[in-house]
């Protein structure tokens, strides 16, 4: 009876909210029954909401500080807000496609039988964490009139930095996603714990690297 109950639980569809309460169980369900379209649409919608808060947080003063001429502010501000909203739609899609493709290559090298669909589903469900972090941080930024480029939940936010930089990449929801990526690769893709954590950490270090590049570019002299 207990065995049948456990089988029924595993045969249920994975749940996005379950990633907060029982991620290990959700990864087992994703392995058995990977779902993509409904969760991806949901995640994209959440990203659009988060980016909408970001767009509302943008103002003329921010663009002027970045060197935009005052006579072009209205046009540039409108274009920037539209671009931010569009980014909210494409970010989850490209994010899960690229990360899943890289992980599939590693899986084949490691002789794992995980499918691209399973990896795509796994990474889609993990993105609920990033979407939640985006909405929370942008909503707070909009409410207090803060800098939307800096997450309140990052080291840059905690230390009240003026620019995100590398410290902006070290962030609660980002680290949470790293932990879930390692767990997912172990549970869904059947990677060893060592390999799963190595891949998750490398992805995290790459994001920090992009943060460093952004900092260097911002500090570069303007011609």
Q: Among residues 200, 162, 163, which one has the least CA distance to residue 182?
A: 200
What pLDDT is stored for residue 171 in this prediction?
Answer: 94
Provide the phi-psi class of 190: left if phi over 0, else alpha when psi is between -120 and 50, else beta: left
Model-level pTM? 0.89
What pLDDT is stored for residue 85 in this prediction?
Answer: 80
What pLDDT is stored for residue 146 in this prediction?
Answer: 83
Residue 115 has pLDDT above 70, yes or no: yes
The pair phi, psi for residue 171, each rounded to 5°, is: -140, 145
Give the residue, 53 or 216, on which the prediction is more confident: 53
pLDDT in tens, 60-113: 766 666 677 777 777 877 888 888 888 888 888 999 999 999 999 999 999 999
Kindly state the average pLDDT of the residues 122-136: 97
Q: Among residues 6, 4, 2, 53, which one has the least CA distance to residue 25?
A: 6
What pLDDT is stored for residue 221 in this prediction?
Answer: 43
Kindly state the average pLDDT of the residues 146-161: 88
What pLDDT is stored for residue 223 in this prediction?
Answer: 39
| Domain positions in the chain | 18-219
pLDDT in tens, 175-218: 999 999 999 999 999 999 999 999 999 999 988 887 676 555 55
What pLDDT is stored for residue 18 in this prediction?
Answer: 96
What pLDDT is stored for residue 86 in this prediction?
Answer: 83
d(CA 154, CA 63): 23
Residue 167 tokens read as 């410290």
DSSP symbol at 40: H
Range picked from 9-18, 53-62, 126-135 for highest mean pLDDT: 126-135
Kindly state the average pLDDT of the residues 142-152: 88
Q: Among residues 102, 218, 91, 95, which one has the least CA distance to residue 166?
A: 218
Confidence of residue 220 (pLDDT cuts 50, 70, 90): very low
pLDDT in tens, 22-43: 999 999 999 999 999 999 999 9
d(CA 42, CA 27): 18
What pLDDT is stored for residue 7 in this prediction?
Answer: 59
Cite the DSSP H helix spans in 110-223.
116-144, 155-158, 165-169, 172-187, 193-219
């Amino acid at each position: 009876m207990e065995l049948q109950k456990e089988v029924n639980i595993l045969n249920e569809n994975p749940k996005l909210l379950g990633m907060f309460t029982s991620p290990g169980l959700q990864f087992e369900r994703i392995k058995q029954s990977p779902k993509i379209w409904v969760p991806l649409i949901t995640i994209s919608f959440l990203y659009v909401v988060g980016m909408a808060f970001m767009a509302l947080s943008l103002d003329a003063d921010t663009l002027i500080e970045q060197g935009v001429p005052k006579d072009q502010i209205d046009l540039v501000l409108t274009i920037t807000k539209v671009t931010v909203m569009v980014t909210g739609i494409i970010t989850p899609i490209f994010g899960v496609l690229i990360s899943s493709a890289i992980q599939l290559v590693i899986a084949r090298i490691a002789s794992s039988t995980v499918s691209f669909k399973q990896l795509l589903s796994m990474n889609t469900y993990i993105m609920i964490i990033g979407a939640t972090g985006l909405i929370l941080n942008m909503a707070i930024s909009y409410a207090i009139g803060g800098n939307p480029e800096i997450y309140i939940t990052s080291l840059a936010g905690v230390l009240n930095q003026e620019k995100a930089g590398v410290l902006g990449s070290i962030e609660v929801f980002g680290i949470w996603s790293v932990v879930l990526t390692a767990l997912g690769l172990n549970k869904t893709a059947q990677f060893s714990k060592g390999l799963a954590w190595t891949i998750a950490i490398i992805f995290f270090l790459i994001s920090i690297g992009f943060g460093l590049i952004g900092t260097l570019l911002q500090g570069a002299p303007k011609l």
